[in-house]
Amino acid sequence: MVGHIGSRKGAIVVNRLSRFQVIYLLAFAIGWTAFTACTPETFRRPTLGEVRQGKGQPAGDTTLQPGEIRAEVLQVDPNRREIGVQTDDGRRETLLYDIVSTKLLYHGREYPVDNLESGDIIAFRSPRRGGYVDTIRVQEPVQARAGSTVARRSPPAPRSEVLEGTVERIDDDRAAFDVRPRVGRLVTVRVPPNAKASDVENFRRLRKGDYVRLEGEFVNPDTFELLAFLSSDFDRGPRGR
């Protein structure tokens, strides 16, 4: 008799536990449904491509991280791997980028650098002289600014730099020569096809050991495209062929 009563009490306890578990599971299911209902697709940050196409609500990312500079993209030159920008304080700079190592980020997602467009507001850290920019963060795509009617500014003037040093090697076939600066590593100077006749003539007069001072642009840290010979220590006829 006692055993029978004990069995009935145990069954009642088990039954109450089962009811409690059912109620708990039901409450959990209702809560989860409510949570998922409060996070619809519209709360997801749109991708850069979606913003470019006018889809989704663009979200700005205007907070600068330590060491970053904010700027507007003026021009992207895929052939030279250069990005012309104007910083918030009005300075114009040309950033060199590498299609493999340079990262373009928008809200944490990574994109090819070619996705950058004129008018985008970006944040970046200044690279070392002649080096590639490491990371570019898109803070505000151009399509999200003033209904995509941001006025385009004129492209920046070509950046001119001066290189001087001693000629170490001359390659007539490639219209190029190597210069050893006083400080730093060897730089290959390219003479462009549209170079002035006077500069072509100066190139023909070059000999190993000449000290030259050149104006041009760094295409990358190791390559310099000639704009003009500023001075040289030679005064003789063309090299023998």
What is the residue-wise DSSP string for 151-187?
PPPPPPPPP-EEEEEEEEEEETTTTEEEEEESSSS-E
Q: Do domains 62-148 and 161-232 have the same CATH topology?
A: yes
Does the domain formed by 161-232 have CATH 3.60.15.10? no
CA 24 → CA 20, 29, 170, 231, distances in Å? 6, 9, 82, 86
Q: Where exactly are the structural domains of the chain?
A: 1-38, 62-148, 161-232
Provide CB contacts within 8 A for 220, sequence distance 6+: 81, 96, 130, 132
DSSP state of 193: T
> Residue 207 is encoded by which pair of tokens?
């000999």
| Residue range 202-220, pLDDT digits in tens | 999 999 999 999 988 888 8
Spatial separation of the C-alpha atoms in residues 160 and 95, rounded to whole Å: 13
| Mean pLDDT score, 156-161 | 56
Above pLDDT 70, what percent of the chain? Answer: 69
Spatial separation of the C-alpha atoms in residues 148 and 142, rounded to whole Å: 6
Fold of 62-148: OB fold (Dihydrolipoamide Acetyltransferase, E2P) (2.40.50)
> So what's the pLDDT on residue 51?
80
pTM to 2 decimal places: 0.46
Given its phi and psi angles, is residue 45 left (phi above 0), alpha (psi -120 to 50 degrees) or beta?
Answer: beta
| Mean pLDDT score, 87-108 | 89
Provide CB contacts within 8 A for 209, sequence distance 6+: 166, 167
